[in-house]
Amino acid sequence: MMKTRGCCASICQCFFEYSTPKILVIRSFKVGTLNRITQALVIAYVIGYVCVLNKGYQDMDAVLSSVTTKVKGIALTNTSDLGLRIWDVADYVIPPQEENSFFVLTNLLITLNQTQSHCPEVPKTGFDCTSDRDCKAGSRDTRGNGVQTGKCVKYSAVDKTCEVLAWCPLELDKEPPNPPMLADAENFTVLIKNSIRYPKFNFNKRNILPYVNKTYLEQCVFNRITDPDCPIFRLKDMVTEANEDFQTMAVHGGVMGVQIRWECDLDMPSSWCVPRYTFRRLDNKDPVNNVAPGYNFRFAKYYKNGNNEETRTLIKGFGIRFDVMVFGQAGKFNIVPTLLNVGAGLALLGLVTVVCDWIVLTCMTKKNIYNEEKYSYVDDFQLLSNETP
Amino acid sequence: MMKTRGCCASICQCFFEYSTPKILVIRSFKVGTLNRITQALVIAYVIGYVCVLNKGYQDMDAVLSSVTTKVKGIALTNTSDLGLRIWDVADYVIPPQEENSFFVLTNLLITLNQTQSHCPEVPKTGFDCTSDRDCKAGSRDTRGNGVQTGKCVKYSAVDKTCEVLAWCPLELDKEPPNPPMLADAENFTVLIKNSIRYPKFNFNKRNILPYVNKTYLEQCVFNRITDPDCPIFRLKDMVTEANEDFQTMAVHGGVMGVQIRWECDLDMPSSWCVPRYTFRRLDNKDPVNNVAPGYNFRFAKYYKNGNNEETRTLIKGFGIRFDVMVFGQAGKFNIVPTLLNVGAGLALLGLVTVVCDWIVLTCMTKKNIYNEEKYSYVDDFQLLSNETP
Amino acid sequence: MMKTRGCCASICQCFFEYSTPKILVIRSFKVGTLNRITQALVIAYVIGYVCVLNKGYQDMDAVLSSVTTKVKGIALTNTSDLGLRIWDVADYVIPPQEENSFFVLTNLLITLNQTQSHCPEVPKTGFDCTSDRDCKAGSRDTRGNGVQTGKCVKYSAVDKTCEVLAWCPLELDKEPPNPPMLADAENFTVLIKNSIRYPKFNFNKRNILPYVNKTYLEQCVFNRITDPDCPIFRLKDMVTEANEDFQTMAVHGGVMGVQIRWECDLDMPSSWCVPRYTFRRLDNKDPVNNVAPGYNFRFAKYYKNGNNEETRTLIKGFGIRFDVMVFGQAGKFNIVPTLLNVGAGLALLGLVTVVCDWIVLTCMTKKNIYNEEKYSYVDDFQLLSNETP
């Protein structure tokens, strides 16, 4: 009975104990100043960098985004093949819709009225021949345009090449026109509609800001100084902002990044959360190492002629692909990251003691006094006890 | 020799030293209780929030995903232009395949038999004219449909507008039909196949769960209550879950988010790791600020007539784009984040001492006794020494 | 005056104070060894894992990427429907351009000359009939191909099915050809151009490395051993690297992941930052649970015949979609994460004291001596004071 009571009491006693480290306070100009300077540095770092710059007291969320685009504009071309021809959005945006991207045709090589038939290959190393023996029936070369029939036929007055089964006439391997055929594309405009959401904070916004009305939207064009909130962009302006020349880029095509940045401090009024647009060329146009420059792809329009035979128009389209990249973070005050950062700050303050202790106990003239006061010793050595002071 | 031995011994001695702070234990009801409550709070926070809710003992990995979709369904339209007409998947899904997205046409404005020719502009401010002098040859306006020829011609019995070179006849600038032409689209179904991978844990899964067999898959439709694991979704159900009306949305089009969330605790059986589907409208349909609502784009089908002239059918297609968004995290026990969180917890426990010390040494009645016991002083002042107690 | 001076002096005095914990040093073989071993473990963990493996002293940035692809190759097919036919890039890449993905047609079921007209449904449960009463006019089934007219007509000599308004003739519901029609696709090559950017470090690079010249690029094909830097990939090689058989995969189609990994340590020369290519099949081909395998979609080519009636060629295309996934991180020395990790390391060193204290004060034979030296007591109990020793 007595024992149980004693045990119970000792648990109680233990529960009501509070342990706190014993502290040696050193009063000294030098040491105190050193201490305060080090503390001030750590506190300035924690408050300045972690809290103010990195907003360590905020919970963060990444942006969810949805983008739709609509290009407008008319281009006029005049070539011997096609005559005078108008190009509208259904002609030059390929494919007609994509998720976060749109492609505008700016230049093209067109091969009309191709049919599945036989014709001589384009002269190139490996396809030249003098007799049928130089051509292997059934051979298909990735650099070629079709399957060889095994015959050697006249390509021109001088050249003979292997005959192929292919979409004939073959596309000529030539440089794209310069200036580009759809030079007018520089004046096309694109309306970029972007809705964003920060799911953690249930915050939605879109890049057509509340004060933008239909009248403004019908006539505005983005301009960094005069119209920074207009979501309609002139293609040339975008390319110019990326320090590129539109007409040069249009010849071989390329890839442009349209970056929409939503950095939102949701502790501030939500109207301060606005998109920032920047533009950058994404593909490399390194002039030194100019391998396979630009952006182009081949596509075809298929027709049937009177005899129910399939013909096609092959287009090697050069153009600019605009990738719309939406990124950003929203922050809002939250107790969890605040505690975490306060904790990390206190941990760093622990470093102050380490640094000051080292200086105080090794460099100061009175280090022996400090040492004596700070440290007590329990000695447990038999072997070395005779050598301890 | 003696000196080396002494030096060696002192290093040895130093190596076998163990430093531990000297502790003052205060036995008191008040202080002890305060201490234990603060400790309990911190421990509850660390265990409750960091370990249980945030699973701080787990290593996390983000999902890699691959999505394919397949829409099924037939729609019937009956218009004066096209007569009775069937629309199947090859007609209404444009483009036929995309990476994480699919578009279903729900409404359209069609302009048949366009050719490159001359016709009067659609009446609009800037295109009206009374004589040829009002029209400028070669002028191309982004709001217009072609390049002006400089002539002023009759558009209707009353209106005269500038003539343009364009795809004629021009598309009429009118509202889309209401009810939408492909109202049947609400009954279309889509099979969404989604394979995910957590590369860090070499864990693969797909949204067609192991128990789902071919028979079930041929007749099931997703229903949050009765068929929550069926990967086949009726379009109307998806829109309804997002609190939208399909027929209203179908008129002007829009963008829907199909969110597939894979939150997996891989310390649990892998069969607990199942996808959760949610649906949300991504574009803004704010009725107050209704600028450029919905989602539409123009595309064309190209034909050649008997004279080898190109004609096209221009379609302004309104419809719903479904963006499939796959996200989620998997967690699995790992010693590294566990140690990290235990460390952070201990650091926070350090806060307890700071808080309790402050209360004990400033607010308690016996604070002088505690102060005397906790602090020792080494005084180093010459200047102020006469003022210290 | 005297008071102000006293107050001022006491603030000064406080400012120049430096607090450092009083330390008990235990000199003992056992305790010292234990202490050093624990410290060594923690330090080894911090340096080895956090600094060397995880590069905790570096600031990290995620990759921004832009991908363009260009497929090359010719396939030959010979079928009763189409005769001998050549397929080139404009024929088999659908759609002609996508953002981070490309699709190569490898197999197809073709239905020629469809027109909007009436024809009997394909025999299937639900569509069979014996008289008009079995068919419901206007009924549209998601499994069917059109809208029923209400008539029951002959499908073949034996079968009668409900008549539908649809694109007739209907597509036959049959398995895709095996071997695949475009078996030649295995020799197609694709040039993948990938430009990356680490915005935080203003670092750009592309996967066509500086030393790669035009001549090399015209003839090279990626090979993990001989040509690991060639950005041109043979389709079959990619599929083989993922441990799949191209011809088998080509029959029903599938989804392949082309993973480009840019792990860059920017403290090292930038030429060490090179892409690593890996290939993985993304869709599931689990043979046990083989529901809806492969990847296919339907698309159509539209024609107009002599009577201005629209006809189309419906293609159910099976093929391989290649999703190019670019990921990776770049790290560069930065003082902020270094401080953070040093701090975290020191916090973990605090654990050493906790562990050692517990062992020293409970397990050692001389624990009473240590206890006495380490702890001082301030007793504050009235109730239990008679029971304390």
Do C194 and C188 touch, CB atoms closer than 8 A? no
Higher pLDDT, C386 or B375: B375
Beta bridge partners of A332: A59
Give the range among A221-225, A250-254, C189-193, C212-216 with minimum mean pLDDT: C212-216
- How far is residue B105's CA from residue B188's CA, in Å, rounded to a whole number? 11
Question: Tens digit of pLDDT for each residue in C85-116?
Answer: 999 999 999 999 988 999 999 999 999 999 99
Instruction: Look at strands C310-327 and C254-261 and give their pairing.
Output: parallel
**What's the mean pLDDT in B133-161?**
87
Residues of B in contact with C122 (CB under 8 A): none
Neighbours of C125 (CB within 10 A): 6
Residue of chain C with shortest Cα separation from B22: C374
- State what percent of residues in chain C have pLDDT above 90: 40
Confidence (pLDDT) at B106: 96
Beta bridge partners of B111: B314
Interface test with A, best of B282, B295, B354, B385 (most A CBs within 10 A): B282
Whether the per-residue pLDDT at B1 is higher than 60: the answer is no
Whether the per-residue pLDDT at A375 is higher than 50: the answer is yes
Residue of chain C with shortest Cα separation from A99: C99
What is the amino acid identity at position B172?
A: L
Question: Tens digit of pLDDT for each residue in B121-130?
Answer: 988 877 888 8
A-contacting residues in B 183-212 (Cβ below 8 Å): none
Note whether C387 contacts A323, CB cutoff 8 Å: no
Q: Which two tokens stand for residue B74?
A: 């037939």
Confidence (pLDDT) at B244: 92
Q: Which two tokens stand for residue A186?
A: 């520089």
**What's the mean pLDDT in C252-279?**
92
Whether the per-residue pLDDT at A387 is higher than 50: the answer is no
Higher pLDDT, B262 or C15: B262
Question: Tens digit of pLDDT for each residue in B32-59?
Answer: 888 888 888 888 887 887 777 778 788 8
Q: Which residue in the set A147, A257, A304 is minimally distant from C86, CB to CB?
A: A147
Whether the per-residue pLDDT at C245 is higher than 90: the answer is yes
- What SS3 string covers A368-384? HHHHHHHEEEEECCCCC
Nearest CA to B296 among B72, B109, B112? Answer: B109
Residue of chain C with shortest Cα separation from B369: C378
Higher pLDDT, C380 or B275: B275
**What's the mean pLDDT in B292-313?**
88
Higher pLDDT, A53 or A289: A53
Average pLDDT taken over every residue of chain B: 85
The alpha carbon of residue A218 is apart from the nearest alpha carbon of chain B, in Å, by 9
Q: Which two tokens stand for residue C288?
A: 């046990």
* Tokens 């921004």 -> residue: C64
Q: Beta-strand (E) ranges in chain C?
A: 17-21, 23-27, 58-62, 64-72, 75-79, 83-87, 101-120, 147-154, 160-168, 189-198, 203-206, 232-234, 254-261, 264-265, 276-281, 296-304, 310-327, 329-333, 375-379
Neighbours of C226 (CB within 10 A): 9
Whether the per-residue pLDDT at B389 is higher than 50: the answer is no
- What SS3 string covers A304-324? ECCCCCEEEEEEEEEEEEEEE
Question: Tens digit of pLDDT for each residue in A275-310?
Answer: 999 999 988 776 666 667 889 999 999 998 878 888
Residue of chain C with shortest Cα separation from A376: C24
**What's the mean pLDDT in A219-225?**
92
Whether the per-residue pLDDT at B277 is higher than 60: the answer is yes
B-contacting residues in C 306-325 (Cβ below 8 Å): 306, 308, 312, 314, 317, 321, 323, 325
Whether the per-residue pLDDT at A131 is higher than 70: the answer is yes
**What's the mean pLDDT in C209-229?**
88
Residues tagged in the binding site annotation of C for ATP: 70-72, 189, 296-298, 316
- How far is residue C84's CA from residue A146's CA, in Å, rounded to a whole number? 12
The alpha carbon of residue B190 is apart from the nearest alpha carbon of chain C, in Å, by 10
**What's the mean pLDDT in C243-256?**
93
Whether the per-residue pLDDT at B379 is higher than 90: the answer is no
Residue of chain A with shortest Cα separation from C112: A308
Q: Which residue in the set C284, C314, C376 is minimally distant from B373, CB to CB?
A: C376
Whether the per-residue pLDDT at C135 is higher than 80: the answer is yes
pLDDT band at A247 (very low <50, low <70, confident <90, very high): very high
pLDDT band at C250 (very low <50, low <70, confident <90, very high): very high
Determine contact: B18 vs chain A, CB below 8 A. Answer: no
Whether the per-residue pLDDT at C49 is higher than 80: the answer is no
Higher pLDDT, A300 or A335: A300
**What's the mean pLDDT in B4-27?**
78
Helix axes A29-44, A335-363, angle to 10 degrees: 150
Whether the per-residue pLDDT at A341 is higher than 90: the answer is no
Residues of A in contact with B381 (CB under 8 A): 27-29
Note whether B91 contacts C380, CB cutoff 8 Å: no
Whether the per-residue pLDDT at B281 is higher than 80: the answer is yes
Determine contact: C372 vs chain B, CB below 8 A. Answer: no
Note whether B378 contacts A387, CB cutoff 8 Å: no
The answer to the question of whether A304 is labelled as a binding residue is no
The alpha carbon of residue A273 is apart from the nearest alpha carbon of chain C, in Å, by 22
Answering whether pTM is above 0.90, one says: no
The alpha carbon of residue B137 is apart from the nearest alpha carbon of chain C, in Å, by 34
What are the angstrom distances between the C-alpha of C18 and each of A19, A367, B379? 21, 14, 11
pLDDT band at B383 (very low <50, low <70, confident <90, very high): very low
B-contacting residues in A 90-109 (Cβ below 8 Å): 90-91, 93, 95-99
Which spans in C212-366 are helix H?
214-219, 235-241, 246-252, 335-363
DSSP 8-class letter at C350:
H
pLDDT band at A386 (very low <50, low <70, confident <90, very high): very low
Neighbours of C354 (CB within 10 A): 12
Nearest CA to B78 among B156, B207, B6, B182? Answer: B182
Residue of chain C with shortest Cα separation from A16: C381
Whether the per-residue pLDDT at A20 is higher than 50: the answer is yes
Residues tagged in the binding site annotation of B: 70-72, 189, 296-298, 316
